[in-house]
């Protein structure tokens, strides 16, 4: 499983801020330069927290004297109305960094919260819930980390650390067996996985010697048949139109993995509020 850094790259933080600040925060200039303030961040809904280092990193990039005190840790489940953290320092800096810091915290917590819901639905089964490459551009490492905070797992990070042979690859290569053979000849020492759409394609993939197979858009009955046909010769992954209300039934078919693009693609930001008190 991929291990994303807990500390975001300062270059990324700079890029996030540049998008919002540009040549400078004009509105913050109306605040006296030496004014000190304290802010608290409250969640308006139940959530799984994720993104502390990104939130803190924004403010400390702007001014290292900013002090952020957290009351919870990434991965913690927090009830609505709870104070997540307090931030203290120059008022101008708090105002300038507020939106970028909250955007990151809300988005990553949204990813972790959704992941936790899927994780809970499969508790007690051996299946692992995986994310996909359907991430927000520029936030892949961060969202992959958030998925883990929610109790799910990471699939490959990009096109460089795993081989996933899909329908178009098979068509271009000539057949399932030809595609698998070509991948094995690369000798890359990464996981080789192939997508199949029918039970006959599954048989062909097994005969080709691939050790991980993606069952694309299989019905529940087909999944059960695939598990029987497989006889544990390969790891089986389910993907395609997987919803929260059916994931338990899929897990109980005996497959090994369920990959869900919605974990990172259909993210709804958590509703957070940052309240500022001047002169503290």
Instruction: Mark whether 211 is an active-site residue.
Output: no
Q: First-to-last CA distance in the chain?
A: 45
Instruction: Mark whether 99 is an active-site residue.
Output: yes
Instruction: Mark whether 216 is an active-site residue.
Output: yes
Residue of 99, 224, 248, 265 with catalytic role: 99
Residue of 203, 216, 235, 271 with catalytic role: 216
User: Residue 19 burial (CB < 10 Å; 0-12/13-18/19+)?
Assistant: exposed
Residue of 166, 211, 268, 275 with catalytic role: 166
Residue of 117, 134, 248, 265 with catalytic role: 134
The answer to whether the beta carbons of residues 220 and 242 sit under 8 Å apart is no
Residue of 53, 193, 195, 204 with catalytic role: 195
- Tell me how far apart the alpha carbons of residues 91 and 36 are, in angstroms, rounded to a whole number: 5
Instruction: Mark whether 33 is an active-site residue.
Output: no
Half-sphere exposure of 66 (CA within 13 A, CB side): 26
DSSP state of 29: G
The answer to whether the beta carbons of residues 16 and 104 sit under 8 Å apart is yes
**Could you list the active site residues?**
99, 134, 166, 195, 216
């Amino acid at each position: 499983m991929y291990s994303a850094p807990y500390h975001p790259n300062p270059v990324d933080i700079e890029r996030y801020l540049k998008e919002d600040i540009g040549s400078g925060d004009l509105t913050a200039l109306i605040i006296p330069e030496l004014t000190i303030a304290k802010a608290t961040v409250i969640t308006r809904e139940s959530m799984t927290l994720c993104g502390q280092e990104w939130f803190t990193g924004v403010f400390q990039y702007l001014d290292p004297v900013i002090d952020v005190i957290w009351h919870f840790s990434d991965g913690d489940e927090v009830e609505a109305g709870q104070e997540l953290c307090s931030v203290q320092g120059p008022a101008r800096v708090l105002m300038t960094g507020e939106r970028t810091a909250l955007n990151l915290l809300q988005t990553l917590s949204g990813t972790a919260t959704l992941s936790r819901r899927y994780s809970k639905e499969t508790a007690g089964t051996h299946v692992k819930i995986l994310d996909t490459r359907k991430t927000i551009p520029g936030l892949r490492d961060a969202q992959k980390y958030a998925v883990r905070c929610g109790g799910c797992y990471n699939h490959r990070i990009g096109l460089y650390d795993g081989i996933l042979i899909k329908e178009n690859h098979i068509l271009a290569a000539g057949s399932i067996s030809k595609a698998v053979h070509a991948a094995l000849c690369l000798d890359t020492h990464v996981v080789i996985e192939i997508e199949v759409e029918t039970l006959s394609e599954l048989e062909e993939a097994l005969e080709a010697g691939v050790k991980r197979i993606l069952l694309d858009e299989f019905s529940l009955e087909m999944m059960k048949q695939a598990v029987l046909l497989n006889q544990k010769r390969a790891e089986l992954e389910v993907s395609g139109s997987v919803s929260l209300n059916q994931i338990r039934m899929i897990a109980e078919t005996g497959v090994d993995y369920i990959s869900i693009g919605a974990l990172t693609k259909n993210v709804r930001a958590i509703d957070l509020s940052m309240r500022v008190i001047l002169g503290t």
